[in-house]
A and B are shown apart, each in its own frame.
Chain A
Amino acid sequence: EVQLLESGGALVQPGGSLRLSCAASGFTFSSYAMSWVRQAPGKGLEWVSAISGTDGSTYYADSVKGRFTISRDNSKNTLYLQMNSLRAEDTAVYYCAKKYCSGGSCYSGVSWYFDLWGRGTLVTVSS
């Protein structure tokens, strides 16, 4: 079955750290760029970070740059998000999402979208 399954969410104190995992199955994980998207309680979607499938290029939203680190282990079909210096405003459900390029090949100018999402894992930052 094609799926993504997040884990690692917890209650953590401000200033603390947490590592989220996203286990992928049913597709060739290494071939796809992946992202983390979060949703604060009662709020909208916020793209957090992305990592390419091949060369490991990483990208971050300004709100998490310098505090969060995205990584992947293609041998384990797993995506990670290391979150440090956590703040109350980081409280959210964190989703991992798979990037799919229209036509199946990613190149400059092609349209793309998130075609597969996990169920999410809740991170609560509170004292």
Chain B
Amino acid sequence: DIQMTQSPSSLSASVGDRVTITCRASQSISIYLNWYQQKPGKAPKLLIYAVSRLQSGVPSRFSGSGSGTDFTLTISSLQPEDFATYYCQQTYSTPPYTFGQGTKLEIK
């Protein structure tokens, strides 16, 4: 099975900061990498699919990059509503479609 490792596990930042979250796959997953945002008590919400494609309605301050095994989610200027937990997910080939362990983004 493909393992997904996110770093850091938690991150403190301030409104207006630029933040980068990293996701590493245990083998190459090409472009099959998605990012989700989850707020407490809510279902996950898709932000980015296929590494860098922004889901409709998601603010342009969110961006994704990478290929193969190493990927990043960047928030260019943090807004108060961005404080949440972020998960990467690989959808390469056959199941299981594993998620990273999550990165909790907290207010500094």
Contacts and interface: CB of A to CB of B under 8 A. Distances in A.
Contacts, number: 65
A115 interface: yes
A83 interface: no
A47 B43 contact: no
Helix, strand, loop or mixed for chain A's interface?
A: strand
Given A113-B34, A117-B43, A62 B96 contact: yes
B19 interface: no
B44 A117 contact: yes
A45 B96 contact: no
A46 interface: yes
Interface residues of A, number: 22
A27 interface: no
Contact of B95 (A59, A95, A102): A59
B95 A45 contact: no
A44 B34 contact: no
B101 interface: yes
Interface stretch (B10-18, B20-28, B45-53, B76-84): B45-53
B44 A44 contact: no
B97 to A, nearest CB: 5
Nearest to A119: B43
Interface in A86-127: 95, 102, 111-115, 117-120
Contacts of B91: 111-113
A10 interface: no
A62 B45 CA distance: 25
A61 B31 contact: no
A61 B101 contact: no
A50 interface: yes
A49 to B, nearest CB: 8
Nearest to B50: A111
A19 B88 CA distance: 29
B5 to A, nearest CB: 12
Contacts of B36: 45, 114
A50 to B, nearest CB: 6
Given A44-B99, A47-B99, A114-B36, 6 more contacts: A44-B101, A44-B102, A45-B102, A61-B96, A62-B1, A113-B91
